[in-house]
């Protein structure tokens, strides 16, 4: 059976990648959204950065390429967390016009492999690379209706982030390289969705021995400058 | 573009499911393997229970169906853990003959969504359902060369099981409904690959409050019968 989908460098019509990129501005947890490419009369929707996988690339390679192409982000922590395959996930009316305009095979079922990623906001200013429209940081508690099942994907990424944060200290990547204990407490509160007692929190963090105190304090703040710390595992 | 792959009930040539089913016989951790269907001269290989996803089923539904069709297992804990998408994962010479005999589109790239599952061995005697050849329990440390990248999938499932066992007490499903502390210790040692001190282990388990002691002791053993326990979360 001759099938163009087998040719290297062409997209596989049935498999895509979507990336949930989280950021933290010391107040709110954010997620990176792109405006879908727009031609003619299409109502622009926001979506996760994502696209079809090419025939000759593996999934991680594909996620890296797509994120670079759409947002200019590169060299960041990317973790595959779940594959979404509801047979109707690309069949919603809201998505039909975009699919018919941009996909060679708009009827094809698309199964998407989702990755999540953590970015230091100090290191990245959102910018659309050539293939995307606008790129924005959106508060995770104010995400609008997104294309396809992307709202569900964001929610499940958030659940996974909570789990990995609790069990494996994944999440420190969201803080600046040097941070205060207040910033760390805020990050815990935001990700876990709870308020923490300052004294108990500091006791627990001290006991866990994951931080290194620096010979340095905050600068440029209008209160008593606080001690700065960095995360022990410098590999992250 | 007319494409038979869009018709409901037909297999999607690009997406499959593979299931890593673990069992525990109180001595060794086991994994369930099936002998690939055999026609004519094909050298039979062992493989994980797996098959292509049908166009109109979602991934979890597909995993449930495939496991039932190939092994007669049903109603068990099934957890999606990773999707494998190396472009060459079905291109090894050892797999070509089987693919050419059994797949309508043997050249198609296949991305596989892998699930793992935990089974009480007391509840299941391996049996091939109509669609498979032999079904066997194999010690995880004695798995032969399997079809495709299934050895890698088994290894990654094992890593995930270790993680979930450590962080979330997933793994108790492998024990009989009523078990002794020695059986529980053995399970810990086998999954984590370490030896544990009996006294410390019992102290730790007692402190974790996950077990309920039963008014019952072992029977039919040739040593002093030990106290039986069950796991607190009866939902599993």
Q: For the segment B46-104, what is each residue's pLDDT rounded down to a tens digit?
A: 999 999 999 999 999 999 999 999 999 998 889 999 999 999 999 998 899 889 888 88
Place B4 in a pLDDT band, splitting at 50, 70 and 90: very low
Burial classification of residue A90, based on how many CB atoms lie within 10 Å of its CB (0-12 exposed, 13-18 middle, 19 or more buried):
buried
Q: What is the mean pLDDT of residues A158-182?
A: 90
Which chain A positions have a beta carbon within 8 Å of B55's beta carbon? Answer: 87, 109
Q: What is the pLDDT of residue A175?
A: 92
- pLDDT band with cut points at 50, 70 and 90 for residue A155: very high
Q: Do A59 and B14 touch (CB under 8 A)?
A: no
* Residues B107, A82: C-beta atoms closer than 8 Å: no
Asked if B176 has any chain A CB less than 8 Å from its own CB, the reply is: no
Prediction pTM value: 0.90
Residues of B in Cβ contact (< 8 Å) with A111: 12, 15, 53, 59, 111, 113
Among residues A120, A106, A132, A124, the alpha carbon closest in space to that of A46 is found at A132
Contacts with A, B 85-124, CB within 8 Å: 85-87, 104-105, 107-109, 111, 113
Q: Which of B65, B143, B167, B80 is nearest to B117 (CA)?
A: B80
Q: Would you say residue A40 has pLDDT above 70? A: no
Cβ distance B113 to A85 less than 8 Å, yes or no, reads: yes
Q: Please tell me whether residue B18 adopts helix, strand or coil conformation.
A: strand
Q: List the single range of A25-29, B148-152, B218-222 with lowest mean pLDDT.
A: B218-222
Give the pLDDT confidence of A80-116 residue by residue, as tens digits.
999 999 999 999 988 998 898 888 888 899 999 999 9
Name the band, by pLDDT with cuts 50, 70 and 90, for residue A233: confident
The reply to whether A3 touches chain B by the CB within 8 Å rule is yes
Residue of chain A minimizing CA distance to B89 = A58
Going from the C-alpha of A97 to that of each of A111, A134, B190, the distances in angstroms are 19, 19, 54
Contact criterion met (CB < 8 Å) for A111 and B109:
no
**Residues of chain A neighbouring B111 (CB-CB closer than 8 A):** 12, 15, 53, 59, 111, 113
Mean per-residue pLDDT over chain A, rounded:
89
**Which site among A83, A86, A152, A163 would you substitute to test the B interface, given the most B Cβ atoms closer than 10 Å to its Cβ?**
A83
Task: Please report residues of B whose CB lies closer than 8 A to that of A85.
Answer: 15, 53, 58-59, 62, 113
Residue B58 and residue A85: Cβ atoms within 8 Å?
yes
| Mean pLDDT, residues A163-179 taken together | 88
Domains, in order of start, for chain A: 4-168 (3.90.79.10), 175-231 (1.10.10.10)
Shortest CA gap A126–chain B (Å):
29
């Amino acid at each position: 059976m001759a099938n163009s989908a087998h040719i290297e460098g062409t997209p596989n019509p049935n498999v895509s990648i979507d990336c949930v990129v989280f950021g933290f501005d010391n107040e709110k947890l954010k997620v990176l959204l792109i405006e879908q490419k727009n031609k003619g009369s299409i109502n622009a929707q926001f979506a996760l950065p994502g696209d079809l996988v090419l025939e000759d690339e593996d999934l991680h390679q594909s996620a890296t390429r797509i994120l670079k192409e759409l947002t200019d982000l590169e060299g960041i922590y990317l973790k595959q967390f779940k594959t979404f395959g509801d047979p109707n996930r690309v069949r919603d009316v809201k998505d039909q016009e975009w699919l018919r305009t941009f996909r060679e095979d708009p009827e094809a079922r698309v199964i998407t492999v989702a990755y999540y990623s953590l970015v230091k906001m100090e290191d990245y200013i959102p910018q659309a690379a050539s293939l995307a429209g606008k790129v924005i940081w959106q508060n995770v508690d104010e995400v609008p209706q997104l294309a396809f099942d992307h709202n569900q994907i964001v929610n499940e990424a958030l659940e996974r982030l909570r789990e990995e944060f609790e069990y494996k200290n994944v999440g420190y990547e969201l803080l600046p390289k040097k941070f205060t204990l207040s910033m760390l407490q805020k990050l815990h509160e935001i990700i876990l969705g709870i308020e923490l007692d300052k004294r108990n929190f500091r006791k627990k963090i001290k006991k866990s021995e994951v931080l290194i105190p620096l010979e340095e304090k905050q600068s440029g703040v209008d209160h008593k400058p606080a001690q700065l710390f960095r995360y022990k595992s410098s590999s992250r």
